[in-house]
Amino acid sequence: MPNRLSNPLDSNEDAAVTWARRKETIRGALKLFRVMLDAAKRHTDWVEARHGVGGAQLWALWELRQTPGMRAVDLAKSMAVHRQTADLLLRELHEKRLVKTEIANDAASPAHFLTFDGQRIADASPEYGQGVLKAALEHLPDVALEQVVQSMRALTENLPFREDRAALKPLADILRPTERERLRHPTTSARQNIQEN
């Protein structure tokens, strides 16, 4: 209803026109969110098809390329994920022989380094190794970046079904379809299985 607008109505403008303009702005914002999430999903699909690793795994490789010898706790901090998530990523990359571990006698936890194959993958995607959203944020001027953060904070404060722990999940995990969605869209699941095999 028009009386729920947070901004006062322009006295020269009809309330119905102002409300219609607000609805159109909201639709425009929704479209922009869809474009951003679609770009992130397309990037993840591209990474998996090209390198055989997930988007979060590529980001971990990228971080290890920048700072060889990182510990899991350092990687978790750099990627803004849970320590357990970083441990899992490193374990998966170790199993794929993309990361090797070295344990120093005086170190509390092991250091992680890229193998030759891990280095090759990290070198092949230098610009988007951290994901497309982070790459886009890096290109914003400071003032615009601060505006984005303030606006998104205000938006998330009004989100129903909000789960703050999601802030520490890789975006690829959030965008990955759930089992229920796979059952609802069997052709998509079949296509994914073909790509994975």
**Could you write out the three-class secondary structure of 78-113?**
HHCCCHHHHHHHHHHHHHCCCEEEECCCCCCCCEEE
- What is the distance, to the nearest Å, from the Cα of residue 28 to the centroid of all Cα atoms in its chain? 22
If you search the block for the tokens 């951290």, which residue do you land on? 130
Judge whether 195 lies within some domain: no
Judge whether 30 lies within some domain: yes
Question: How many distinct structural domains can be found in the chain?
Answer: 1
Please tell me the predicted confidence (pLDDT) of residue 96.
96
Q: How do residues 124-179 score in pLDDT, each as one tens digit?
A: 887 778 888 988 999 999 999 999 999 999 999 999 999 998 888 888 778 776 55
| C-alpha distance across the termini of the chain, in Å | 52
Model's pTM, two decimal places?
A: 0.73
Domain region containing 146: 14-173
Query: Do 81 and 96 touch, CB atoms closer than 8 A?
Result: no
Please tell me the predicted confidence (pLDDT) of residue 15.
86
CA gap 126, 121 in Å, rounded: 9
Judge whether 5 lies within some domain: no
Please tell me the predicted confidence (pLDDT) of residue 4.
47
Please tell me the predicted confidence (pLDDT) of residue 59.
93
Task: Tell me how crowded residue 4 is: count the other CB atoms within 10 A of its CB.
Answer: 7
Judge whether 26 lies within some domain: yes
Please tell me the predicted confidence (pLDDT) of residue 60.
95
Amino acid letter, 19? W
Judge whether 137 lies within some domain: yes
Judge whether 146 lies within some domain: yes
The secondary structure of residue 70, as a DSSP letter, is B
Q: How do residues 2-39 score in pLDDT, each as one tens digit?
A: 444 455 555 566 888 888 999 999 999 999 999 999 99
Torsion (CA) 152, 158, 161, 164 in degrees, nearest 10: 50
CA gap 21, 3 in Å, rounded: 14
Please, which pLDDT band fits residue 92 given cuts at 50, 70 and 90? very high
Query: Do 126 and 55 touch, CB atoms closer than 8 A?
Result: no
Judge whether 183 lies within some domain: no
* Residue 79 belongs to domain with CATH number: 1.10.10.10
Judge whether 181 lies within some domain: no
